[in-house]
């Protein structure tokens, strides 16, 4: 243990993202054996704001469960008005004067909270404790802790030292997983079949033929082939006339891999007409064919090339907010230490009157949402990805537009197009974005 980490009291300022405070508290739990008290200073609920007391509760609960250290006391203290300088200074003096005799040394980490809280709590505590006071912040740019009075003190990159599991991550944010892994492939009992299907998708991607799968489903769906009731063979043949095992061998190989009731073509390339009926097909199969296959493929590539087991896919979360419970979905979530990357997948493609490919509003909305959700969960360190079937120039334009509209940093958000989806190429891009 470094002698630099020997303070008795750690003060954290609680804002709307509790993750940085968890990281800081966990780091000092592990490195400072003299730690006795953790102060969680949060804003108080008023008519303008709900306050951040619930996040202070969540931080305490997660840390207590993780460390089970009875010698560390958690003190949750509200600041009535975090916008008024005099109120902040007065309240801080009142809170800490009661325990001033017990505090041998005090360390403030001012990563969280409002700017006013950071500035004025810092000044108040520095004036009170003088040489017994020290401070730091967690730098979102390089994941190092920076110490004000000792800039040469190096913590190293904390992503490699501080890890959080998905359950605790969501607990910090007042969220819980409602469903996880409820995708079509999870319903298959034969897992070797799942692997074979993913390998076949990789072949389609490597041959730049994933559009065949998307277009096949779109054409069949527009022709009503997945609606209830048996279909006339001529109807199916006419709607899918442009697809053949000679012209689309990988597509037909993929369609023939499904379990018997879910198979639309046999190994000889013949349509299985009786399966074009939504009474036969499951809702999970329909969602998979609509585009769920893309998120399954992305998750499969990540798991194949990464030893990091903290990759979860197809999750639905419930978050309690000011207006009651809110639900949202994340296609793929990767947790790298404590840094998260949210990945959204979309297969939508639109064309203008001349048949030229153009951006769809649904993809723009997916991009906005994954940037927002990732930031809400992971804070400044969060990264996000939108995986699409767009051609290269449209994918690049969409990335620029979304960065400009949201203020997402240069290295915090990327859009992948169909040229990026061959498995090794996609892994390289995702690895650079998530892990480097």
Residue 377: its H or E element: helix 361-378
- Tell how far CA 36 is from the center of its chain: 33
Q: Could you tell me which residues come within 8 angstroms of residue 295 by beta carbon, excluding any fewer than 6 positions away?
A: 183, 313, 314, 331, 332, 343, 345, 387
> 19 has which bridge partners?
none
The predicted structure's pLDDT at residue 254: 96
Residue in 327, 331, 310 with CA at minimum distance from that of residue 319: 327
Residue in 179, 141, 169, 178 with CA at minimum distance from that of residue 335: 169
Q: Could you tell me which residues come within 8 angstroms of residue 269 by beta carbon, excluding any fewer than 6 positions away?
A: 244, 245, 252, 256
In the predicted model, residues of the chain with pLDDT beneath 70 are 1-4, 47-48, 180-181, 278-281, 308-309, 320-325
Both tokens of 366, joined, read 């997916």
CB atoms within 10 A of CB 252: 24
HSE-CB of 294 using CA atoms within 13 angstroms: 26
Cα torsion 51, 52, 56, 62: sign? positive
- Tell how far CA 106 is from the center of its chain: 34
The predicted structure's pLDDT at residue 231: 85
Round to whole Å and give the CA distance between 415 and 435.
17
Q: What is the value of pTM for the model shown?
A: 0.91
Cα-trace Rg, the chain = 26
The predicted structure's pLDDT at residue 319: 77
CB atoms within 10 A of CB 394: 21
The predicted structure's pLDDT at residue 154: 83
295-435 placed in CATH 2.30.42.10: no
Q: Which residue has the tokens 């709307």?
A: 16
Q: Indicate the domain borders of the chain.
A: 9-162, 189-287, 295-435
Round to whole Å and give the CA distance between 202 and 210.
9
What is the side-by-side order of every strand in the sheet holding 9-14? 73-79, 37-43, 9-14, 106-109, 133-138, 145-147
Question: What topology is assigned to 9-162 in CATH?
Answer: Rossmann fold (3.40.50)
Burial of 330 (0-12, 13-18, 19+ CB in 10 A): buried
């Amino acid at each position: 243990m470094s002698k630099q980490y020997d303070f008795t009291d750690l003060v954290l300022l609680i804002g709307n993202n509790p993750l940085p405070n968890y990281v800081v508290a966990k780091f000092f739990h592990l490195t400072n054996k003299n730690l006795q008290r953790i102060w969680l200073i949060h804003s108080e609920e008023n008519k303008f704001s709900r306050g951040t007391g619930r996040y202070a509760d969540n931080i305490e609960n997660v840390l207590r469960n993780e460390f089970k250290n009875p010698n560390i006391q958690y003190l949750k203290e509200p600041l009535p008005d975090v916008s008024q300088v005099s109120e902040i200074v007065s309240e801080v003096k009142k809170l800490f004067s009661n325990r001033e005799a017990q505090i041998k040394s005090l360390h403030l980490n001012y990563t969280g909270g409002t700017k006013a809280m950071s500035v004025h709590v810092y000044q108040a505590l520095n004036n009170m404790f003088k040489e017994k006071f020290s401070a730091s912040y967690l730098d979102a740019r390089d994941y190092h802790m920076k110490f004000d009075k000792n800039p040469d003190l190096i913590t190293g990159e904390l992503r490699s030292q501080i890890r959080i599991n998905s359950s605790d991550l969501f607990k910090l944010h007042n969220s819980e997983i409602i469903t996880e892994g409820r995708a079509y492939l999870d319903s298959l009992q034969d897992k070797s079949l799942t692997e074979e299907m993913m390998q076949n998708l990789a072949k389609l991607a490597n041959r730049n033929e994933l559009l065949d799968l998307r277009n096949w489903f779109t054409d069949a769906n527009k022709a009503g082939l997945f609606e209830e009731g048996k279909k006339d063979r001529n109807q199916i043949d006419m709607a899918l006339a442009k697809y053949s095992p000679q012209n689309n061998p990988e597509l037909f190989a993929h369609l023939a891999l499904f379990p018997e009731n879910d198979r639309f073509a046999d190994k000889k390339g013949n349509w299985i007409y009786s399966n074009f009926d939504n009474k036969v097909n499951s809702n999970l199969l329909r969602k998979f064919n609509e585009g769920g296959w893309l998120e399954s493929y992305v998750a499969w590539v990540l798991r194949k090339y990464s030893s990091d087991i903290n990759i979860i896919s197809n999750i639905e979360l419930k978050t309690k907010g000011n207006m009651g419970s809110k639900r949202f979905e994340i296609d793929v979530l990767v947790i790298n230490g404590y840094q998260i990357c949210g990945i959204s997948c979309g297969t939508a493609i639109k064309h203008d009157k001349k048949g030229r490919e153009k951006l769809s509003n649904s993809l723009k909305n997916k991009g906005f949402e994954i940037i927002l959700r990732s930031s809400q969960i992971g804070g400044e360190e969060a990264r996000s990805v939108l995986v699409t079937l767009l051609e290269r120039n449209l994918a690049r334009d969409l990335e620029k537009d979304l960065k400009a509209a949201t203020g997402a940093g240069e290295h915090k958000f990327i859009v992948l197009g169909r040229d990026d989806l061959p498995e090794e190429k996609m892994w390289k891009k995702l690895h650079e974005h998530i892990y480097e």
